[in-house]
Amino acid sequence: MTPLTLAVVSRNYFNMPAWLGLHAGLFAAEGIDLTIDHIEGIEEVNDRLRSGRAQLAYGVTEHVILDAESGGHLAIIGGNVNRLPFSLIARHGIEDLKGLRGKRIGVSSLRAGSSSLIMRLLAEQGLNWPDDYELVPCGPILARWDLLRSGGIDAGLQGAPLNHIALDHGFVSLCEPRQDFQFTSLDVDTRWAEGNRDVLLRFLRGFLRAHDRFYTDRDVARDVAVKESGIEPRYADRAWEEYTRDEIFPRDAEASETGVQALIETSALIRDLPRRARTRAADYIDRRWLAEARASL
């Protein structure tokens, strides 16, 4: 068995394809002894790729874009959250997006991730950061949920199933963006990939099978979600229904060129970024690896 580490952000539902592949033995069948390293700091995930402490990552895709702009070696080789899965959850008493004026909104990071989406959504309502509201960098979804419940923030993006749990606890949803947007992706350092071709292809064969299994086996998806995240089975089922209905995870495991382009355009509109290192979304995606793995199934 070949040991391999996949770094992921927190214990949230975004990790389901990898969790399912691990529990269903799909990586082991390819001789891969996979360790999934759950990390709360989103910047730390891709830092581990660069340092070699992880060989693959479910990372925030904007970090790959920023890495490329600075001459780095990270690349998108597969999909993860290809379409927005969020509800913008707020405390009771806030009735709409304009009601967030003067409020504290939790985001994963000011540098990348959910902050881009918040800025874009609120700019469409005439609210601009930092004059009209405060962004609180508090980490990923689970940390935002804790702060929302404690009153530390007034609102924050939540994905299924935490959006459903929040609504059942009396919080409100201000909007539910579902457009194509490459929020997270399967990322790799190309230097490691080129030197470990056989290992990467074996991992990707398991990765491809895991995505197909997610769509065809709700019972396994429920059991894995409950075991890994501790949610109730009814919420696991609701998350599965939402993710399969809206195709939030790509069934073919591919990254979305449309989703990457949407990410680029959003971040370019709201951030003072240097010139893009590449001009097309497709230039950030290396599809060779999945294509070769699929051909060898």
User: Does the pLDDT value for residue 268 go beyond 90?
Assistant: no
pLDDT number for residue 272:
54
112 pLDDT band, cuts 50/70/90, is low
277 pLDDT band, cuts 50/70/90, is low
* Of the candidate ranges 184-193, 205-214, 264-273, 285-294, the one whose mean pLDDT is the lowest: 264-273
- Please check whether residue 207 is in contact with residue 186, taking contact to mean a CB–CB distance below 8 angstroms: yes
C-alpha–C-alpha distance, residues 22 and 32, integer Å: 9
Q: 3-class DSSP state for residue 88? A: strand
User: What is the average pLDDT value for the chain, to the nearest integer?
Assistant: 92
All structural domains of the chain, each given as residue ranges with its CATH number in brackets, are 2-82+181-295 (3.40.190.10), 86-177 (3.40.190.10)
pLDDT tens digit sequence for 124-161: 999 999 999 999 998 777 888 899 999 999 999 998 89
Instruction: For residue 278, give both structure tokens.
Output: 């590449």
pLDDT number for residue 279:
67
* Amino acid symbol at 171: F
pLDDT number for residue 211:
98
- Please check whether residue 77 is in contact with residue 289, taking contact to mean a CB–CB distance below 8 angstroms: yes
**What's the average model confidence in pLDDT over 165-181?**
94
C-alpha–C-alpha distance, residues 250 and 87, integer Å: 20
pLDDT number for residue 113:
63
pLDDT tens digit sequence for 33-69: 999 999 987 788 989 999 999 999 999 998 898 888 8
- Please check whether residue 57 is in contact with residue 160, taking contact to mean a CB–CB distance below 8 angstroms: no
Q: 3-class DSSP state for residue 278? A: coil
Strands 180-189, 74-83: parallel, antiparallel or unpaired by DSSP? Answer: antiparallel
pLDDT number for residue 61:
92
275 pLDDT band, cuts 50/70/90, is low
